[in-house]
Amino acid sequence: MVVGIACGQTSSMAVVNNGEVYGWGYNGNGQLGLGNNGNQLTPCRVAALHGVCILQIACGYAHTLALTDEGLLYAWGANTYGQLGTGNKSNQLSPLQIMMEKERVVEIAACHSAHTSAAKTQSGQVYMWGQCRGQSVVLPHLTHFACTDDVFACFATPAVMWRLLSVEQEDFLTVAESLKKEFDSPETADLKFQVDGKYIHVHKAVLKIRCEHFRTMFQSYWNEDMKEVIEIDQFSYPVYRAFLEYLYTDSVDLPPEDAIGLLDLATSYCENRLKKLCQHIIKRGITVENAFSLLSAAVRYDAEDLEDFCFKFCVNHLTEVTQTTAFWQMDGPLLKEFIAKASKCGAFKN
């Protein structure tokens, strides 16, 4: 299933749900990343990215950027203005990792009409490179901007918005927008959850429609069906609020540390889609400092995909992560299992 599409001036790229990237169209500058400059009439997989899971793809006029689930950035294609950020102006026919010395990248940006590139890091720093008001910036340059949109508004030629912007104001609300608006609304709610001494206002009907756990809970023979206030002591307020809000919005906005608690809740309530969302959040937020904590959580909540991801991250950053407090606080059996598994894959070879 295709989860992302980006178009250059004469080429197209797509990301599918397993993280693979496909390209087709004109390839004179290597913008398809296939290792050659032959045009493609049908989608062709970018083999050079095998084993790498791509989350986001962005296309400039004749170059391409790709962001992995580990926050790594790859670039390929035309490089006349340094838009690949490699430090030179040579075209690249295959994906090349850039910004390796920077922190984790969380967003990339390019536009089909420009030779400019931009990226935003986990701490909110915005970098730009490529064509800048007639000048060539061949390495990622730290800007004072707070978002990548400003890069293209100020420096791209012509000045553009790289993503869709709606300026129309409509009074009409969709069903999804209406549900989101009514979450935690005391005016319309018919039930309150009390967590850590705080109230969260919800609607029984919505919970029953969206969650099997609540559908069962609000049966006439359950005590909870008669209550106006239900106390929750198994989970923290941020976690339980995020869960209830997810039932209204189908989205989650939590830092990785809280997402672990939500993963626990999703496992307890058998919410498989929420479990996947939590794993995605944790993957995007993994760092050297929290890698072993996240690995422990993945094992504890039987999240195999997340466990594999965290394990690979720990192995790839073995020297750094073994110096963290989390590593030495890891449970003995889990630590032994990690060492044995890492040894089998050659992590301790010179």
Please list the pLDDT of the chain residue by residue as tens digits (350 residues): 898 999 999 999 999 988 999 999 999 999 999 999 999 999 999 999 998 889 999 999 999 999 998 889 999 999 999 999 999 999 999 999 999 888 889 999 999 989 999 999 988 899 999 998 888 999 999 999 999 999 998 888 777 777 766 666 667 788 888 999 999 999 999 999 999 999 999 999 999 999 999 998 887 666 665 778 999 999 999 999 999 999 999 999 888 878 888 998 998 999 999 998 998 888 888 888 888 888 888 888 888 888 888 888 888 888 888 888 888 887 788 888 888 888 887 776 65
Do 227 and 289 belong to one domain? no
Asked whether the bond before 158 is cis by omega within 30 degrees of 0, the reply is yes
Do 263 and 243 belong to one domain? no
Nearest one of 223, 231, 225, 227 to 199, comparing CA atoms: 231
Instruction: Return the structure tokens found at 275.
Output: 């479990």
The count of other CB atoms within 10 Å of the CB of residue 217 is 16
For strand 126-132 and strand 73-77, is the pairing parallel, antiparallel, or unpaired? unpaired
Do 130 and 263 belong to one domain? no
Q: Give domain status of residue 224, yes or no.
A: yes
Do 114 and 180 belong to one domain? no
Do 36 and 124 belong to one domain? yes
As for how many domains the chain has, the answer is 3
Phi, psi angles (nearest 5°) of residue 70: -95, 5
Do 136 and 193 belong to one domain? no
SS3 135: strand
Q: What is the DSSP letter of 43?
A: E
Q: Which amino acid, 73? A: L
Nearest one of 264, 340, 336, 345 to 303, comparing CA atoms: 264
Q: Angle at CA 28, nearest 5°, toward 22 and 30?
A: 50
Q: What is the pTM assigned to this prediction?
A: 0.64
Do 199 and 144 belong to one domain? no
Residue listed under structure tokens 């005391």: 186
Do 139 and 182 belong to one domain? no
Do 197 and 279 belong to one domain? no
Range of the domain at 206: 172-251
Q: Give domain status of residue 163, yes or no.
A: no
If phi over 0 gives left and psi between -120 and 50 gives alpha, with beta otherwise, what is residue 130? left
Do 279 and 313 belong to one domain? yes
